[in-house]
Chains A and B, each alone.
Chain A
Amino acid sequence: MMTLSRQTLLRISSMLALALCLLLGAGLQRDLSSASAQDVQVSGPLAGAAAVRHLRLWREMRFHLEPFFAFTFGDEYSRSLIVGGEARFHVLDWLGIGGWGGYSVATLDTNLTQQVQDKGVTTNINRLDLPSRENFPDQVGRLNWWSGVEVHFTPFRGKLAMFQKVFVDADVDFFVGAAFVGVEERANAVGRPVPGDVTFCEIDGVMDPGCLGSQVARSKRVAIAPSFGVAFTAYFKKFMGIALRWRGVPFKYNAAGTDASQQRAPGWGTIDSNDRTRQFNQMFSAGFIFVLPPKIKTTD
């Protein structure tokens, strides 16, 4: 098999990206300056008229209440199934503020968790990481509840046809804010007698033979993290719609419940906050939107 060096691959990729950018940049410059995507170029009696008349204001000065179901994905060890709700108020049709919250009603272990449970091996070298393979699902980190406040921008709106029969208004909502997540992790413990040759653990000065108690000991905290995402909303009634939403909430936690510290680095030989690794937690949600007041206003 032909082998290319990383530098060659990087060079090829750079050239390709550059060619693509030049190609598309030149094309867009020519086309967008003439009429694309679709400039509103009106002459004659309609010149100067509003681009849209009788525009339905789905958001301006209205509340959106949205019960939703969500699931996380991309998790290494455990996924969450979430039931929650969201409330938003929009001062303008394109700007609003809101809060959301949800509770993880169930968790699903990943295939990797199942494999560790079935085939993991425990020795004194890794006893702190895996005291027993059977109880491994009990040591992984869980995300129990979620909440947050976010600012919403809705720059794109329009209408769509479904199956050439149903025509609905729709918009795309971008949001950014802060999230508060209830994290449940493996509790702090120290491997004894020495890191790399552990026969028992010490939890708050108490001996734990084989670290079996440490494996299932839990601690809880609230993680504060940025949150952001994008949602597609379609309105089927004057007071009701659906929303499909992707949200990212990246933060650090000890997802595997192991001693992730490098050898001789701070925290080596212990389960503690140094073992938290960055996880790009992301979820997809689907919800119903109820709009208040139910009566909708339109522009002139």
Chain B
Amino acid sequence: MRVLGGIALLMASLWMAFPTAVRAQMEFSLDEVDEGKTKPAQKSEDRGDLIEELAAGDDTGEGPVEPAPQHAEIAEEIYAVQQIYALRLKRFELAPSAAFTLNDPYLNHYGLGLAANYWFTNVLAIGVNFIWYDWGTNPLDRGTSLIPQIQDQFRLSVPINDWQMGLWANFTYVPFYGKFKVRKKIFQWDSYLIGGVGFMRTEPIPVFDSEVRSFNWQTNVAFNVGAGLRIFLTRYLTFFTEFRAYMWPDQFENVEVTPGPGRNDPSTWLQSGSTFVANTSIQVGFTVFLPVKFEYRLPK
């Protein structure tokens, strides 16, 4: 409950912190172009800056070129290159989200997550993400209809682990970005790849000898990879959805019950080996870029 309240408070405080003046600054129209500052672009390799590259276009000539004397009037079409709608460079990103597991046939897992990233280039970020799954409910109350079905029809029990939380450090890379038009609005979007390492805390649910066995949360090294899509609603607020595969070696309850005194020996309660678990999930949420205000550095 504290986590839920914390997330709500965080989002509310972030929202309240945005001054009206900032929103006015983020209006996008031709009026915001400062003609006095606009200068021709130079070769983009100087700074590796995306804006410069886009502004420079195909002009790959070496060094300054003296304009040739103009002897005749020419009717040349001039193209205006639009600035990137929202820069990520040197901004923090906070992303609360809800996580829905897709591939666990036995238990439904509902997670609330929070991610924080720092964009050290316009396309690369480093950060962490955290997901909390344990809401204090009996995990078997979240069981799917498959559990009683396989128990009745196949006389089969399967070892099941519940999840408490996961924390990962990640790299994010944005290889694709673009824009699409809906009626008279143009939405900017990007697609990103993400991956990292961290840990996942899980706990076996006693099924095979529940009278004797009880388990504690265990921490497992976990990896994750994923891909996501982010749509900019404003220059600092985006909607995102992402597909993530969280993977870790997990230890499940031993399906064999040792007869005699060994039954009470906790060292016999878990399977000897680990099982590779892949939790594929869809996460949906919003991201807030901070600071909400940013400045373009136009090429000299």
List the interface of chain A (C-beta within 8 A of B). Answer: 1-4, 6, 8-9, 12, 15-16, 19-20, 23-24, 26-28, 30-32, 34-44, 46, 51-52, 73-74, 76, 110, 112, 115-116, 119-123, 126, 129-130, 133, 136, 155-164, 170-172, 256, 258-260
Contact: B23 with A31, CB < 8 Å? yes
Given A42-B29, A157-B180, A164-B50, also A129-B153 (CB < 8 A):
yes
Q: Which residues on the A side are within 8 Å of B120 (C-beta)?
A: none
How many positions in chain B have a CB within 8 Å of any CB in the partner chain? Answer: 60
Q: Pick the contact of A31 from B29, B103, B177, B237 — CB < 8 Å? A: B237
State whether B15 touches A37 (Cβ < 8 A): no
Question: Which of chain A's residues have a CB closer than 8 A to the CB of B181?
Answer: 51-52, 156-158
Among candidates A26, A35, A38, A256, residue contacting B188 with C-beta atoms closer than 8 Å: A38
In the complex, what distance in Å separates the CA atom of A161 from the CA atom of B85? 14
Residues of B within 8 A of A34 (CB): 23-24, 27
Quick check: which of B63-71, B125-133, B144-152, B259-267 contacts chain A, the rest being far away? B144-152
Count: A-B pairs, CB below 8 Å: 168
Q: A36 contacts which chain B residues (CB < 8 A)?
A: 26, 28, 233-235
13 CB < 8 A contacts A-B: A1-B134, A3-B136, A12-B4, A15-B8, A19-B8, A38-B187, A39-B29, A39-B184, A116-B156, A121-B154, A129-B152, A160-B176, A160-B191
Interface contact B154-A126, CB-CB below 8 Å: yes
Q: Does A19 lie within 8 Å of B176, measured CB to CB?
A: no
Contact of B154 among A116, A162, A164, A260 (CB under 8 A): A116
Cβ–Cβ < 8 Å partners of A76 in chain B: 105, 146
In the complex the two chains form, what is the Cα distance from A19 to B9 in whole Å?
A: 10
In angstroms, how far is the closest chain A Cβ from the Cβ of B5?
A: 8
What's the Cα separation between A2 and B30 when bound, in Å?
56
Contacts of A42 in B (CB 8 A): 29-30
B123 within 8 A of partner (CB): yes
What CA separation (Å) do A6 and B135 show in the bound complex? 10
